[in-house]
Chains A and B, each alone.
Chain A
Amino acid sequence: MNILNILDEIEKVDGEIYERLSPRRSAMKDFFNVGKKISMAALPLALGSMFQKAYGQTNPSTVNDVLNFALALEYLEYNYYNHALTNSTITFPTTASNAAITTIRAHERAHVDLLKSALQISGADGYVDADFDFTAGGAFGDVFSNYQTFLKVALAFEDTGVRAYKGQAPILKGNAVLTTALQIHSVEARHASHIRQMVAASLGVALKPWISYAANGNDTGISAVDAVYAGEQNTVQAGVEINGLGGASQTQAAESFDEFLTGAAVKTIANQFIKTGKKLA
């Protein structure tokens, strides 16, 4: 796939594409460079930004803001799993548990690279391990020595990630970037589902792969992460009461729809794990 071929194809249906992208044709040099630099997987993201510029009604900077926000969360997740796998005294109980975390780490790293590429960030990562405090100020003091504590924080990160992407979707509405964001979003949900099963197995609790009903939304029994699940008890969707609909119980009604978190709520959660000076504003 060649970005210039795509632009050529578009020119056939829209002769003004280059003018829309930039008022000066000389600026096409930028796009040659873009085409060379950007990895293939990041192309939808980059193209989405271009189309946003050419056709969009909203400010392109809002799309980049979303991508930067997502990137920060992916840095958090990647560094967390990487620390656990490379620099901890955690004893993984099985080969499978280690493999699962390795798989998840690879996806988070891929998300970091994809978002960096889309934002045309070359060079070092914006966040490194030393920028994080994964104990959250001591709330999870043995996070890198106790497998169960490690899983609890992973659970919070994955379920937060799912809610975070969902909350940003409206800003990406109608933009090709949305599709890529959704493709990341559902991978995070798959991670969350699996981590929940790991927590259930390790702690011997009846935690389901999906977020179940609890009065305050938090079905995990880990009160330190209440904020992650705030609002998940909701059973009314677009004015339709799901409780009782088609025979669904209150529990099943709450489970059948995940809820979103606002960017502000996600930042508050994430900042508990980010050191002063690097906190999300």
Chain B
Amino acid sequence: MTMKNNELETKSELQEKSLFDKAVGRRSFLQYAGAGAAGIALVAAGCSKDRGYDNPTMNGATLDFKTDIGVLNYAYALEQLEAAFYIKVASAPPAAFTAAQKAYFQDVQFHEIAHREFFKKALSTAAIGSLEVDFSSIDFTSASGVLAAAQSFEDLGVSAYNGAGVRITTTDYLVLAGKIVSVEARHAAWVRDQISNGSFADLNSLTALGANNSAGLDGALTPDKVLAIAGKYVKTKINVINL
């Protein structure tokens, strides 16, 4: 594993160098154009910078954005995170939750599990492993704490799918991402309304995620930015290459 990690970092460095040299080919350029300046940020959160670090475990997941497999694994990683969160909420909801809130959190839990399991099946042997999550920053006994976390996950999920769609080259996968993102947006709107009725599409509050209220646009973020935000909830090291 150590060798593999070193090899991946080397590949990252090469990619980084070639981008700075501006010696990019046509395909890379198109990715650059699509992703904007963020395309340069190749190493996302959670990726260790200390080169000599010897990682003795099998931990670590690599998202190689060169192909659709990387994009699907990225979605798989995010769905793992969401599913783990909702499983924890649904198994022991905050005491202050209403019956309706408990029922809908059950639904959302199964939606996210379905997404997670779908990607796992679709990716088959190309799937990354199970991520280890860290929800220590969330107070699962507090209704407001759980709702705030749910809102963060859903709004981020929407921005993630919106930002990653342009990378998908297989039509069927693009449609599938579209089928999932609108469900995440429905979740996001509902959770937001639980916190503050009428905030379902408060785009002004989503500018950090790439939303633009005056144009009526929801968030959209490149994977490196999404992973930087999601990083605090993930223990597993996530390597990003070919972004």
Bound-state CA distance A259–B75 (Å) is: 18
Encode contact with B along A12-52: 1 for CB under 8 Å, 0 otherwise. Answer: 11100000000000000000000000010110000100010
Name the B residues within 8 Å of A193 (CB-CB). 185-190, 193, 200
Q: How large is the interface on A (under 10, 10 to 19, 20 to 34, 35 or more residues)?
A: 35 or more
What number of B residues sit within 8 Å (CB to CB) of A?
64
| CB nearest neighbor in B for A102 | B198
A240 and B118: CB pair below 8 A? yes
Determine if B145 is an interface residue (Cβ-Cβ < 8 Å).
Answer: no
Closest residue of chain B to A181 (Cβ to Cβ) is: B165
Residues of A within 8 A of B33 (CB): 10, 47, 51, 176
B56 contacts partner chain A, Cβ-Cβ < 8 Å:
no
Q: How far is the CA of A259 from the CA of B182 in the complex (A)?
A: 9
CB of B97 closer than 8 Å to a CB of A: no
Please indicate the chain B residues that have their CB under 8 angstroms from the CB of A192 in the complex.
186
Would you call B22 and A13 a contact (CB within 8 A)?
yes
Please classify the interface of chain A as helix (H, G, I), strand (E, B), loop, or mixed, using the class held by over half of its residues.
helix
Chain A min CB distance to B19 (Å): 9
Complex Cα spacing A140 to B174, Å: 36
A166 within 8 A of B: yes
Chain A proximity mask over B137-167: 1 for CB below 8 Å, otherwise 0:
0000000000000000000001001110110
A240 in contact with B122 (CB, 8 Å): yes
**A154 CB–B CB distance under 8 Å:** no
**B211 interfacial contact with A, CB 8 Å:** yes
A252 & B114 in contact (Cβ 8 Å cutoff): yes
Q: A187-B201, A187-B216, A260-B175 are in contact. Are A238 and B122 (CB under 8 A)?
A: yes
Q: Establish whether residues A41 and B212, one from each chain, have CB atoms under 8 Å apart when the complex forms.
A: yes
**Contact of A110 with B219 in the complex, beta carbons under 8 Å:** no
Considering only residues 217-269 of chain A, those with a C-beta below 8 Å from chain B are: 237-238, 240, 242, 245-249, 252-253, 255-260
Say yes or no for A152: interface residue by CB 8 A criterion.
Answer: no
Contact A190 B188 (CB under 8 A): yes
Identify which of B104, B107, B175, B217 gathers the most chain A CB atoms within 10 Å of its CB: B217
A170 in contact with B175 (CB, 8 Å) = yes
Contact A237 B161 (CB under 8 A): no
Complex contacts, B198 vs chain A, CB 8 Å: 96, 99-100, 103
Residues of A within 8 A of B189 (CB): 189-191, 193-194, 209
How far, in angstroms, from A104 to B181 measured CA to CA in the complex?
Answer: 19
Q: Would B217 and A173 count as touching, CB distance under 8 A?
A: no
Whether a CB of chain B sits under 8 angstroms from the CB of A205 is no
* Contact between chains at B175 and A166 (CB < 8 Å): yes
Give B113-151 interface residues, CB cut-off 8 Å to A.
113-118, 121-122
Can you name 12 A-B residue pairings with CB atoms under 8 Å? A179-B162, A180-B217, A182-B162, A182-B165, A183-B162, A183-B220, A187-B185, A187-B218, A209-B186, A209-B189, A237-B118, A242-B118
Known pairs A170-B174, A193-B186, A242-B114; list 4 more (Cβ under 8 Å): A184-B216, A191-B189, A193-B200, A258-B179
